[in-house]
Structures are given as C-alpha cells and as structure tokens.
Chain A
Amino acid sequence: MGNCLQTSTSDDINLLRDSESSNTRDTSPEQLDPPPPYQEAVRPTVPVYHTAPNVTRPATQLTEEEQVRIAQRIGLIQHLPTGIYDGSKKNRECVICMYEFQYGDTVRFLPCMHTYHTHCIDDWLMRSFTCPSCMEPVDAALLTTYETN
C-alpha cells in the first residue's frame, strides 16, 4: 500500500519518463539494467524516439541501454497479434479508454486473451510490459508461447 520510500530508487530506471519528470534523467549508468547479451543484434538505427504521441526524445538523449531496451520492447510488442474488431461478444470494451469496440477498430490481443485498442495498449506496454486487466507479465507469457511452439 505505502512504499513511498522505495519509489525514488525503483522509478528512476523507467526509461520512458517524459520531460515533466525528467529530474531523474541524469541517473548514473550503473543504476540502469545491464544490457542483455544479444544487444548487438538489435541495436536500433532510428534516430528519434517517440515515447508517446506528444513526447519525442532525440535518440542522442537516450543511453545505449535505453535505446536497446526500447528497440527490444517495440519488437516484442510487434510480435503480439492484432486484428480488426469483428463484433465478438467476449471483449466489448477497451478498459483503458472505457469505450466499446466498434466494428473495424484495430485491436491487439495479449497472450492472456485480453484485448485492447492497439493505440491504447501499445503506449501502455512501452511503460509497463503487463496486462492492465490481469497483471500478467506479457514477456513471460510470450516466452512460454515460443517454447510450446
């Protein structure tokens, strides 16, 4: 419930903080996660990164680790299936924007079978790789899917 004394340390690894909360930007590199072993293969070439529709941060202001993690995250999100809402009864509302799906909306399906508007869930997944409805970590579920295939 509380945990306020912990946030100052746990939050500054969040690589998607925007300008409003950029007081933690000058985090020393040691506090960031170590780069994953396959870092070289996925080094992004994109010069500008849009953390959100209204937040753009030049790649020069991101550390290499951040760039790699962003590229990996984008790659993982792209792996999640999308579709066009067909009026199925199971998922009627996108719980992020609280609007009912309309025929023709682009939706994304998470491994836990929860469905959201693609533009609603993608922004969230860049911040936290968990399903907002069931809190299932998406990457764990993805790995399981890969293993069973």
Chain B
Amino acid sequence: MTEAQSALLLRKQLAELKKNPSEGFSAGLIDDNDIYKWEVLIIGPPDTLYEGGFFKAHLYFPREYPLRPPKLKFISDIWHPNIEKNGDVCISILHEPGDDKYGYEKASERWLPIHTVETIMISVISMLADPNDESPANVDSAKEWREDYNGEFKRKVQMSVRKSQEEAWD
C-alpha cells in the first residue's frame, strides 16, 4: 500500500462519513491538510454511565494503513478500564497484525485491513458499554469498576461526562 493509496482510502471514508453520518460519533480531520490525523466526537452510548457525554478522541493513521492499524487517543478525560489515564485506547483490534504463534489472541480479534473509521468506532462504543477487565489499561478504574461500580466508579465517570459536555459547547 503506497502513501497515495492510504490517503485515497482515508479520503474516501471521510467523504462517505460526511455523506452518511453514523449514529454514535462524528468524524473529521484535525487539520484539513493532513488526511492521516482525524478527530472524532464519540457520543456516550445510551443506557450506560457514559450516556450524555461527548468525548473527543484523535485517530493517528500510519502511512501503511490499512495494513497497519491507527492509534486512538481520547483527548477528553474519560474514566474507563480499557483507556489509559493519558487517553490511549487499548483494544485488541488496534493491535498490530501478525501471526501470533503463541495463541494469546485470535487473528480475528486483532487488526484487519478491512477495518475502517466506522468499524473502529463501533468497537470503541461497544467497549464503552462493555469494558473488559481481564487486561485493563487503567488498573485503578478496573478495580473500581469491579468493586465499587455504583460508588467511586460511577462518580468518576459522571464527572468525565459533565466535563465533556462543558467542553463540547465551548
């Protein structure tokens, strides 16, 4: 995949998302001159603690996209077991491809070149609704999620929801 091809593929997705916006998120470029850096606004999924939030995140695509995955980083503060405190998102579909001979992850759970901004966002939204605490990126958050869901965990998530709402209307 040459640089021109990856840029073409991303431009195509951007045009399609502008024409047919997806439910659950909106997407655009951080800088109109750089097709490899996207800004997405993720709407907190209904019936979850994140409902009502508008979370900003950045996607950084490598020149080898779609052979290699982008990196995803939340810019808005968000409290979640699978999101590091600095915003980096840890989901297996964003893991580099490769033949994992040790069998920790099935190939199907890893990056595939058919993933688009839309399918990545669908995975992220489902991660918000349904955290995986087996391999947390934010250990404190995972502990609270397990042990104090309606207390400390809920309080911190609601704080991030409120903060994201204030920032969204800036």
Using CB atoms and an 8 Å cutoff, list the residues of chain A in contact with chain B: 1-7, 9-11, 13-14, 16-18, 20-21, 33, 52-54, 95-98, 120, 123-124, 127-130, 132-133, 135, 137
- A6, A13, A33, A95: which contacts B105 (Cβ < 8 A)? A6
Q: Which chain B residues lie closer than 8 Å to A6 at the CB level?
A: 104-105, 135
Known: A1-B82, A2-B92. A52 touches B67 (CB 8 A): yes
B64 within 8 A of A: yes
Known: A2-B132, A2-B134, A128-B110. A16 touches B98 (CB 8 A): yes
Q: Which chain A residues lie closer than 8 Å to B90 at the CB level?
A: 2-4
Known: A2-B137, A3-B135, A20-B62. A130 touches B100 (CB 8 A): no
Nearest-neighbor residue (CB-CB) of B2 within chain A = A53
**Nearest CB of A to B8, in Å:** 8
Q: Which chain B residues lie closer than 8 Å to A129 at the CB level?
A: 99
User: A9 CA to B123 CA in the complex, in Å?
Assistant: 23
Known: A53-B1, A133-B114. A1 touches B97 (CB 8 A): no
User: A133 CA to B113 CA in the complex, in Å?
Assistant: 9
Contact, CB under 8 Å: A10 / B105:
yes
Q: Which chain A residues lie closer than 8 Å to B63 at the CB level?
A: 54
Q: Which chain A residues lie closer than 8 Å to B91 at the CB level?
A: 1-2
Q: Which chain A residues lie closer than 8 Å to B3 at the CB level?
A: 54
Give 27 A-B contacts (CB < 8 Å), ordered by A residue. A1-B91, A3-B109, A3-B134, A3-B135, A4-B135, A4-B137, A6-B105, A11-B96, A14-B96, A17-B96, A18-B64, A20-B62, A52-B1, A54-B3, A54-B64, A97-B1, A97-B9, A98-B9, A124-B67, A124-B97, A127-B67, A128-B97, A128-B98, A128-B99, A128-B107, A129-B99, A133-B114
B127 within 8 A of A: yes
In this complex, the member of B1, B62, B92, B123 whose beta carbon has the largest number of chain A beta carbons within 10 angstroms is B1
Contact, CB under 8 Å: B95 / A3:
yes
Nearest-neighbor residue (CB-CB) of A6 within chain B = B104
Q: Which chain A residues lie closer than 8 Å to B67 at the CB level?
A: 52, 123-124, 127
Known: A18-B64, A135-B107. A127 touches B98 (CB 8 A): yes
